[in-house]
């Protein structure tokens, strides 16, 4: 059946209000529906969001088939306004690209991707959206580099990431251990790039042992104080050094595993920070 649009002119404006078929029957117009999300997930309070909503948002925005390991929902009104969600994707391949995507908004208006002045480079491997209403829509590099407001945002984000890692380690240890190998590269790299970040999370850094278990440095040193106080024994190749590992373990000495390319630099760094602990 052929249908035609029917309208009425009010004050010079032709407003369509329905469709009319050949028999003169009028169909009621359909209510308009928005094609975009008028209330993005980051604009909601964290208590109003479910785990499924966080995962759906991640898949929809970043088209990533792998589920995020965990996320941080930022919701701050004072001393500056900042809302957003940061996701921790799996980063467990040494040579895999670890560049993420951070989308920056101003009152839900997209501004730019991955601005290093707002997100430190060692956090750019994360994925997420940040809404900063106090930022200008046209952000110049010189403005970002000289803005105290931007510096405060960056510092706050780094702190929230560290707080999340500490919270998982202290309150959800089993989950934290299960994802440690997936986030280990990120944590080590971040510690090497930012001493303050290291100072915040050093109590939550895990040592992976040869049997697959995990210990914090303090736990390892406490267990070892009677046999080798202040010394961490580690291996860089479990197969190649299996004989030596067996000898140590026969003496009741636990051996940590540092077998990634980044580990050598990381061990050198933490040994220089804590000079009372040696890594052998």
Nearest CA-CA partner of 207 in 216, 198, 199? 216
Instruction: Tell me the whole-structure pTM to 2 decimals.
Output: 0.77
What is the reported pLDDT for 171? 92
Q: Is 275's pLDDT higher than 80?
A: no
* pLDDT grade for 27, boundaries at 50, 70 and 90: low
What is the reported pLDDT for 162? 92
Portion of the chain with pLDDT greater than 90, in percent: 10
Structure-block tokens of residue 96: 């895999």
What is the reported pLDDT for 29? 57
Helix 148-171, helix 173-193: angle, nearest 10: 150
Report in angstroms the alpha-carbon separations of 252 from 31, 108, 226, 235, 249.
Answer: 73, 58, 10, 16, 5
**Contact predicate 256/224, CB 8 Å:** no
Higher pLDDT, 203 or 240: 203
Question: Average pLDDT in the 13-20 region?
Answer: 50
Q: What is the pLDDT of residues 171-182, one digit of tens each?
A: 999 999 999 988
Sign of the four-CA dihedral 211, 213, 217, 222: negative
What is the reported pLDDT for 155? 86
* pLDDT grade for 5, boundaries at 50, 70 and 90: very low
């Amino acid at each position: 059946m052929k249908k035609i649009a029917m309208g009425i002119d009010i004050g010079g404006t032709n407003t369509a209000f329905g469709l009319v078929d050949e028999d003169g029957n009028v169909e009621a117009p359909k209510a308009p529906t928005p094609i975009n999300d008028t209330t993005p997930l980051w604009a909601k309070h964290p208590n109003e969001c479910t785990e499924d909503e966080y995962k759906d948002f991640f898949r929809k925005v970043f088209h990533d088939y792998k589920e995020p390991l965990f996320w941080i929902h930022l919701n701050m009104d004072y001393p500056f306004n900042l809302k957003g969600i940061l996701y921790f994707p799996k980063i467990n391949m040494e040579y895999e690209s670890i560049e993420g995507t951070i989308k920056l908004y101003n009152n839900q208006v997209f501004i730019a991707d991955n601005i290093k002045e707002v997100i430190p480079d060692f956090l750019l491997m994360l994925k997420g959206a940040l809404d900063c209403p106090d930022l200008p829509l046209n952000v110049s590099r010189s403005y970002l580099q000289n803005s105290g407001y931007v510096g405060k945002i960056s510092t706050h984000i780094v702190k929230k990431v560290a707080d999340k890692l500490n919270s998982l380690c202290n309150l959800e240890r089993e989950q934290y251990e299960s994802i440690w190998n997936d986030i280990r590269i990120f944590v080590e790299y971040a510690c090497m790039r930012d001493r303050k970040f290291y100072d915040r999370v050093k109590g939550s850094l895990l040592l992976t042992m040869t049997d697959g278990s995990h210990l914090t440095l303090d736990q390892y040193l406490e267990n070892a104080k009677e046999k080798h106080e202040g010394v961490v024994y580690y291996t860089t190749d479990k197969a190649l050094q299996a004989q030596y590992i067996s000898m140590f373990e026969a003496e009741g000495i636990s051996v940590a595993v540092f077998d990634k390319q980044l580990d050598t630099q990381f061990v050198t760094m933490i040994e220089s920070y804590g000079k009372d602990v040696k890594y052998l």
